[in-house]
């Protein structure tokens, strides 16, 4: 006769092993099909992009300049042009379903983001590049959208190499705090990748090849098509701190 307690212990062991394997798979870097991508930034000019000062980030001291954007060392570089005055850099082209990949290097203490299906006023599905204590990377925020869309799996502590998983998140942090300093290049470039399809859209994000989010929205919050935009957040005084993006490429999926 089978000992029920022993059988239950075995069952729990099998479930625990399955959970560990699932976590290992979630934290593993994925491989991608990079065919079909094209450059959205040529590394030398801001051709194909324009600044929008129509967002709430561009209202400091009555200014509507949208921040300061330039190209340096093959990267788009953005910063506040006046204390508290930011904005967005918007692609001239609009997109529907797409996959976007780029490399980001942001000074710690700065709030940035990658906007998908953005309007000129900055209403968008924002991929978080909130690089400051309490911020997060690879999550999703409904920038100027109806509802309270805000999903993230971890928060930075007082330094870019220290994170705290958020237990209440529907998406567990795929990287453990002890592994974060090896995973995240705090003084270098990191790849952020995002895919958006359908409407209501499904949004998937990856950081350095690891999936951080796979979210299916339950409502239409925006039209089927919109621009890609890069953000310099308003507020505070971050004129001497920079956001940098390079190797920006897009694959239309529709």
71 and 162 within one domain:
yes
Q: 3-state DSSP call for residue 174?
A: coil
Please write the tens of the pLDDT for every residue from 227-238: 999 999 999 999
Q: Give the CATH number for residue 96.
A: 2.60.120.560
Q: Which residues contact 12 (CB under 8 A, 6 or more apart)?
A: none
Distance (Å) of CA 178 to CA 47, 98, 103, 121, 217? 42, 33, 23, 39, 32
Tell me: do 88 and 189 sit in the same domain. Answer: yes
Positive or negative torsion for Cα 217, 36, 33, 228 = negative
Q: Is 53 helix (H, G, I), strand (E, B) or coil?
A: coil
pLDDT (average), residues 103-113: 97
The tens digit of pLDDT for each residue in 10-44 reads: 443 333 333 333 444 447 899 999 999 999 999 99
Question: Per-residue confidence at 164, pLDDT binned at 50, 70, 90?
Answer: very high
Q: For tokens 């075995």, what's the residue?
A: 10
For 109-189, list the strands marked E by DSSP.
110-118, 124-131, 137-143, 150-151, 154-156, 163-165
pLDDT at 60: 60
Q: 91 and 21: one domain? A: no
Asked if residue 53 and residue 106 are part of one domain, the reply reads yes
**One domain for residues 25 and 77:** no
82 and 152, same domain (yes or no): yes
From 163, 126, 164, 132, select the one nearest 145 (Cα to Cα): 126
In this structure, of 13-17, 39-43, 158-162, 205-209, the range with the lowest mean pLDDT score is 13-17
Distance CA 96, CA 187 (A): 33
Position 62 scores a pLDDT of: 60
Estimate the share of the chain in helix, then strand, then coil, as percent rounded to the nearest 5: 15, 40, 45
Least confident segment among 22-26, 202-206, 240-244:
22-26
Helix or strand or coil: residue 20?
Answer: helix
pLDDT band at 133 (very low <50, low <70, confident <90, very high): very high
Clarify whether residues 99 and 127 are in a common domain: yes
Give the other-Cβ count within 10 Å of 242's Cβ.
20
In the chain, pLDDT over 70 holds for what percent of residues? 87
173, 194: one domain: yes
pLDDT of res. 252: 97
55 and 130 both lie in a single domain = yes
Q: What pLDDT score was predicted for residue 58?
A: 87
Q: Are residues 204 and 232 in the same domain?
A: yes
Radius of gyration of the chain (CA): 20
Flag the least confident range among 13-17, 134-138, 202-206: 13-17
12 and 69 in one domain? no
Residues of the domain holding 148: 32-252
Q: What are phi and psi of 71, to 5 degrees?
A: -120, 125
Q: Is residue 175 very low, low, confident or very high in pLDDT (cuts 50, 70, 90)?
A: very high
Q: How confident is the model at residue 226 (pLDDT cuts 50, 70, 90)?
A: very high
Q: How many domains does the chain have?
A: 2
Nearest to 171 by CA among 143, 201, 198, 207: 207
Residues 23 and 44 in one domain: no
What mean pLDDT do residues 37-62 have? Answer: 90
Reported pTM? 0.88
pLDDT at 8 over 70: no
Give the mean pLDDT of the chain: 90
């Amino acid at each position: 006769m089978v000992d029920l307690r022993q059988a239950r212990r075995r069952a729990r062991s099998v479930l625990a092993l399955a959970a560990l394997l699932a976590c290992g798979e979630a934290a593993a870097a994925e491989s991608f099909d990079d065919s079909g991508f094209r450059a959205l930034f040529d590394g030398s000019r801001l051709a194909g992009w324009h600044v929008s000062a129509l967002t709430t980030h561009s209202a400091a001291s009555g200014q509507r300049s949208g921040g300061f954007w330039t190209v340096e060392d093959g990267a788009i570089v953005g910063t506040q042009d006046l204390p508290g005055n930011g904005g967005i850099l918007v692609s001239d082209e609009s997109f529907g379903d797409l996959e976007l990949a780029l490399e980001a290097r942001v000074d710690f203490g700065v709030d940035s983001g990658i906007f998908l299906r953005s309007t000129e006023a900055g209403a968008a599905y924002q991929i978080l590049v909130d690089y400051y204590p309490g911020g997060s990377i690879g999550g999703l925020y409904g920038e100027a959208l109806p509802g309270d869309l805000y999903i993230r799996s971890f928060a930075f502590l007082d330094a870019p190499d220290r994170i705290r998983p958020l237990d209440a998140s529907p998406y567990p942090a795929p990287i453990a705090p002890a592994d974060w300093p090896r995973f995240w290049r705090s003084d270098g470039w990191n790849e952020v990748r995002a895919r958006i399809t359908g409407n209501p859209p499904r949004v998937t994000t990856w950081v350095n090849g690891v999936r951080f989010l796979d979210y299916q929205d339950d409502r239409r919050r925006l039209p089927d098509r919109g621009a890609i935009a890069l953000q310099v957040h308003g507020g505070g005084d971050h004129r001497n701190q920079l956001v940098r993006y390079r190797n920006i490429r897009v694959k239309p999926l529709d």
